[in-house]
Structure 1
Amino acid sequence: MKPKRVLITGAAGFLGSHLCDRFMAEDYEVIAMDNLITGNIENIEHLLPLPNFTFHHQDITNYVHVSGDLDYILHFASPASPVDYLKIPIQTLKVGSLGTHNLLGLAKHKNARMLIASTSEIYGDPLMHPQTEDYWGNVDPVGPRGVYDESKRFQEALTMAYHNFHGVETRIARIFNTYGPRMRLNDGRVFPAFIGQALRGENLTVFGNGKQTRSFCYIDDLVNGIHKLLMSDYSEPVNLGNPEEITILNFANEVLSLTKGKNKIIHKELPQNDPKKRKPDISRAEKILGWSPKVSRKEGLEKTLDYFNSLPENKLFKREHKKFDGYIKK
């Protein structure tokens, strides 16, 4: 019996690479795609020699072709951190619009089920707390974060249009802050920023007074949630995240406590449109998918720190700079 085939875009990124691992472990044929503009080939290097794994160095905003049958598409291609999407705003908008359109067309042609990686950022700086899937959000479309927020909001609208008009089987995962091994330590988001600063012996930077909140989900929990959603019969958006909320300042102190460093906490001006509150309401995921996160923040932090402590220094702080020189499968 031939294995089922799945296309994963953004496959060399943090989330995408863990999804590649999951589907390879379940004996799928995995077709990985990434233009490596923010992804890192090292994240999937261990999979390249395997017979059921194929990597395509491709920008999905161009025409996407996959030969043969295709059962599933997981669309995880997009810059996801402020450092990236503020530097490449046009590419961010294109991957959410043109890229999503190309993949939905492919899903329609192949009769494949497609899951898109949306984000809690579609809620903007929320006026509802915690955030439910029925909340429409508070987003500034022309602010600095608008290129990412509106890219994801359009992506959801286009996905639902293909579902309703063309009958394409689609799933929408609204992903909240996630962390774990293979994160980029300089991508500008709270969790990797604190871990990177702590490991480098630098002071931890807290923006504003630090009373803004976030909710952090460990990567293994998120991958399980994505898998459950993909295999479900539910087509409306579903929040995936850990509802355990913590202030940025308290989280900075947790990191310092775990790393046992002598770093200090310094405060800088809060960036424009930075969300004050982030906490998912996961009632829908619990009811529809039977899913909730299992890994505590303490356990997840320890696993993540163990991973980064195991890396040699040249990979710890420079691993995102490795270039892809091409790979020919034997």
Structure 2
Amino acid sequence: MKKHGSKKQILVTGGAGFIGSNLCEQLVKDDCNQVWSLDNYSTGSVENHVTGVAYIQGETANIADLINFNPDYIYHLGEYSRVEQSFDDIEKVWSYNKNGIFAVLQFCRKTGAKLIYSGSSTKFGDGGLGRNQSPYAWTKASNTELIENYGKWFNIPYAIVYFYNVYGKREISTGKYATLIALFKEKLRKGELLTVVSPGTQKRNFTHIDDIINGLVLVGENGYGDDFGIGSPECYTILEIAQMFGGEIKMLPERKGNRMMADTVTAKTEALGWRAEKSIKEYIKNFRDSLIN
């Protein structure tokens, strides 16, 4: 298929998911962009569809058969993205994260698209040990190495971004893939105990979805290479976050793969002009105020 006029053709894998739908929403606001989503709807939802985006259902492993145009940019967000659950879901992790990335890279070779890949900040966790602490962490870390090599071997333009505990609009709030902030909000609404995995001193940098999307678009347009971290400098323990919500807390047993720390690597993104602007503390306060009012 020929490109439509002078518009930029942008494909977002995982475009019906939490981060992907917010990215699609931002990209489609620019009249110079034509935006497609490729999603298998494993965690994405039709409710996340954005007007003006073309949606294709399928696996990224089948990208060459499903996409019949040459994108200028591919934002590859459509991978398995949970740490603790990845031990039980290892076959799914391999299918989505290893078969998927190979197909996407081969498609980039064919089309010349620039690849913007969402790596995982787990590879920086616990002084670099985090990359091997779970099937999820290892697949994501090894994918970044494969992308770097494809860049060298086949001259593929790429940028690798790293998110730090994203929260905000369209988070998954129920089920095994629920994110922490959305889960706490849901439990507080229902008057349930806030469950914290022991020891509770795990530190995280919680980053608002708007800050994530601003960084993603900026790196997509101007970033090349690895280490484009997009994370808030504010760091809190899980227990501190639970205490900010103010509900009763129940401690759960420790779990495999649960790293204690993750260093934010944001210097390259900040050099492009990005800064985190939103605070998790203020977000939780506003949520609590909304329950009272």
TM-score (norm 2): 0.89
Match of 2:270 among 286, 311, 316: 286
Match of 2:144 among 133, 156, 170: 156
Letter in 1 for 2:129: N
Superposition misfits of 4+ residues, deviation over 6 angstroms: 303-309
Residue of structure 2 equivalent to 1:298:
281
Q: Is the contact between residue 7 and residue 34 of structure 2 (CA under 8 Å) also seen in structure 1?
A: yes
Residue of structure 2 equivalent to 1:61:
61
Q: Is 1:252 the counterpart of 2:235 in the alignment?
A: no
CA distance in 2, matches of 1:60, 1:150: 19
Residue of structure 1 equivalent to 2:232:
242
Deviation larger for 83-92 or 153-162: 83-92
Q: Is the contact between residue 205 and residue 268 of structure 1 (CA under 8 Å) also seen in structure 2?
A: yes
Q: Is the contact between residue 244 and residue 279 of structure 1 (CA under 8 Å) also seen in structure 2?
A: no
Residue of structure 2 equivalent to 1:171:
159
Q: Quote how far apart the aligned CAs of 1:159 are.
A: 0.7
Q: Quote how far apart the aligned CAs of 1:18 are.
A: 0.5
Structure 2: runs of 5+ lacking an equivalent? none
The percentage of counterpart residues that share the same residue type is: 25
Structure 2 residue matching 1:277: 3-state secondary structure: coil
Deviations 1:235-257 (A, max 9, x none): 1222111110012111111122x
Q: Is the contact between residue 228 and residue 265 of structure 2 (CA under 8 Å) also seen in structure 1?
A: no
Residue of structure 2 equivalent to 1:277:
261
Q: Is 1:19 the counterpart of 2:23 in the alignment?
A: yes
Residue of structure 2 equivalent to 1:112:
113
Q: Is 1:219 the counterpart of 2:209 in the alignment?
A: yes
Deviation larger for 294-303 or 14-23: 294-303
Residue of structure 2 equivalent to 1:36:
41
Q: Quote how far apart the aligned CAs of 1:55 are.
A: 0.7
The alpha-carbon distance between structure 1 residues 242 and 71, as it changes in their structure 2 partners (threshold 3 A), is same
Match of 1:180 among 139, 163, 168: 168
Structure 2 residue matching 1:62: 3-state secondary structure: helix
Structure 1 residue matching 2:260: 3-state secondary structure: coil
Q: Is the contact between residue 105 and residue 150 of structure 2 (CA under 8 Å) also seen in structure 1?
A: yes
CA distance in 2, matches of 1:290, 1:163: 25
Deviation larger for 268-277 or 79-88: 79-88
Q: Is the contact between residue 184 and residue 245 of structure 2 (CA under 8 Å) also seen in structure 1?
A: yes
CA distance in 2, matches of 1:196, 1:225: 28
Structure 2 residue matching 1:79: 3-state secondary structure: coil
Q: Quote how far apart the aligned CAs of 1:299 are.
A: 3.8
Deviations 1:64-109 (A, max 9, x none): 3422331100000112124653443212122222111111111121
CA distance in 2, matches of 1:304, 1:175: 23
Q: What do you get for the CA RMSD once the two structures are aligned?
A: 2.3
CA distance in 1, matches of 2:68, 2:291: 38
Deviation larger for 110-119 or 185-194: 185-194
Deviation larger for 194-203 or 171-180: 194-203
Residue of structure 2 equivalent to 1:268:
252
Q: Is the contact between residue 12 and residue 41 of structure 1 (CA under 8 Å) also seen in structure 2?
A: yes
1:92-103 → structure 2 map (5 Å cutoff): 92-103=93-104
Q: Is the contact between residue 115 and residue 172 of structure 1 (CA under 8 Å) also seen in structure 2?
A: yes
Q: Quote how far apart the aligned CAs of 1:264 are.
A: 0.9
The alpha-carbon distance between structure 1 residues 25 and 299, as it changes in their structure 2 partners (threshold 3 A), is farther
Letter in 2 for 1:179: Y
The alpha-carbon distance between structure 1 residues 303 and 93, as it changes in their structure 2 partners (threshold 3 A), is farther
Whose helix proportion is higher, 1 or 2? 2
Letter in 2 for 1:122: K
CA distance in 2, matches of 1:88, 1:206: 22
- Aligned pair count reads 284
CA distance in 1, matches of 2:231, 2:169: 17
The alpha-carbon distance between structure 1 residues 84 and 267, as it changes in their structure 2 partners (threshold 3 A), is closer
Structure 1 residue matching 2:129: 3-state secondary structure: coil
Deviation larger for 296-305 or 244-253: 296-305
The alpha-carbon distance between structure 1 residues 86 and 303, as it changes in their structure 2 partners (threshold 3 A), is farther
Residue of structure 1 equivalent to 2:129:
138
Residue of structure 2 equivalent to 1:228:
218
Q: Quote how far apart the aligned CAs of 1:188 are.
A: 4.6
CA distance in 2, matches of 1:164, 1:227: 24
CA distance in 2, matches of 1:188, 1:271: 16
Structure 1: runs of 5+ lacking an equivalent? 128-136, 257-262, 310-330
Deviation larger for 2-11 or 300-309: 300-309
Letter in 2 for 1:267: M
Q: Is the contact between residue 83 and residue 137 of structure 2 (CA under 8 Å) also seen in structure 1?
A: no
